Structure 1
């Protein structure tokens, strides 16, 4: 299937590792010009070097904390200038905040919620000019079912689904689509589940046993869903929450 993405321009938050890195690489494979941000400059430099050695289109990376409004806005403005516009945005960064103290709630709100809201608002002038604009926010299965991440993480991931579906309705007349992808447990070296496997093997074992596939997902499997929803091939899909979890969750979506 031709996703009709070649020549478009995309911005991805948190693009140096895990799901974000897989999204960046998959977009590049489809011929998209891509900008990504992250907080760690050395990881940005490594990612840029690796990607530029394999892809010929425009690739831009910049240090930015999505919880810092000024840094986030600077990255969006710089990206739009470098790429020549913005067609697609993927809000991927999460604070992964599972504590129950007030600071955990504040951190989750600032990064997961306001990081997404500001990102989309800053990109909106260019999205309105695009002929095939798309917004994808990354939620989680924890946003639709109660699990060990109930608290700030699950609450704010649920709010992202509501926020994004609201955008879909509000922006439909302007030809801007908005969807959410909710990954299930996703394993990759250095990721949260790799850390849990090493630091809390009992929780890892119990979590793995919940999935009838017998395994966790991969960043590439999550990226495939994000890139499809972002593409003109999904032109009549807006306001949906695509769960990618290998049948982990049991709640029925109507």
Structure 2
């Protein structure tokens, strides 16, 4: 299937490792110019080199996801560098944590507010695109009780509701908005890599609930993400796609 993405201008928050990086590099492989932001300057530069190896342009900024003005500036700078924007993927995340109050503030700022700030800045450019799309990366942890009460799960649930509301509001402007719910995913530097060592019983318990008895690879999640953002999915908006290898047990009506 031709995704018809070649020449598109794409911005991915949290695009230097894991799922975000796989999304960014897969867009580049489809012929898109790609901008990323994340914390580490070194990983930003390595990912930009991978993006540019596909013969496309890259842009990247190291920033803290809690820094609202930095997120806004990166979004504006991306649009200036590329001369517009067609696709915005919001995948910045604070990760897991506990139910401690500090993690609630951290998840609120990084998972939720970084997305709202990026969308606000990108909106004027997206509405000028002929194939505008926003993808919000949530988590299957928003869909059912998972591990223990924590801010991460609740903030990911909030993103689902927000993305659906955006889809209704932006549809008349020609901007599609969808949400992705990845299941447990293993990649270098992931929380699951740490949990496998430090909390082996928790890790084993999650694997037992996974019908395939393995975790996802980042690229397996990225393929669904890129499809949802492409013109090939032009009649899909307001949807939440769960990509978890059958992990969750609820029936989606």
Instruction: Name the residue aligned to 1:211.
Output: 210
Instruction: Name the residue aligned to 2:103.
Output: 104
**TM-score scaled by structure 1?**
0.97
- Number of corresponding residues: 253
C-alpha displacement of 1:200: 1.2
- 2:98 aligned with 1:91, yes or no? no
CA contact (8 A) 2:27 2:34 kept: yes
C-alpha displacement of 1:97: 3.8
CA contact (8 A) 2:131 2:231 kept: yes
After TM superposition, the structure 1 = structure 2 runs for residues 77-156 of structure 1, keeping only pairs within 5 Å, are 77-156=76-155
Runs of 4+ in 1 over 4 A off after TM superposition: none
C-alpha displacement of 1:48: 2.0
C-alpha displacement of 1:192: 1.0
CA contact (8 A) 1:3 1:233 kept: yes
C-alpha displacement of 1:149: 4.7
Other structure's SS at 1:177 match: strand
Instruction: Name the residue aligned to 1:27.
Output: 27
CA contact (8 A) 1:142 1:149 kept: no
- 2:37 aligned with 1:37, yes or no? yes
Q: 2: distance between equivalents of 1:203 and 1:250?
A: 18
Other structure's SS at 1:251 match: coil
Other structure's SS at 2:188 match: coil
Aligned-pair Cα RMSD in Å: 1.0
| Per-residue Cα deviation, 1:15-53 (whole angstroms, up to 9, x for no partner) | 11100110011000111110001111111122223332x
CA contact (8 A) 1:95 1:108 kept: yes
Instruction: Name the residue aligned to 1:47.
Output: 47
Comparing 214-223 with 145-154, which one deviates more in the overlay?
A: 145-154
Q: 2: distance between equivalents of 1:210 and 1:44?
A: 34
Q: 1: distance between equivalents of 2:65 and 2:199?
A: 29
Change (3 A) 1:217 1:167: same
**TM-score scaled by structure 2?**
0.97
| Per-residue Cα deviation, 1:126-163 (whole angstroms, up to 9, x for no partner) | 01101111000000011010011532111110000000
Gaps of 5+ in 2: none
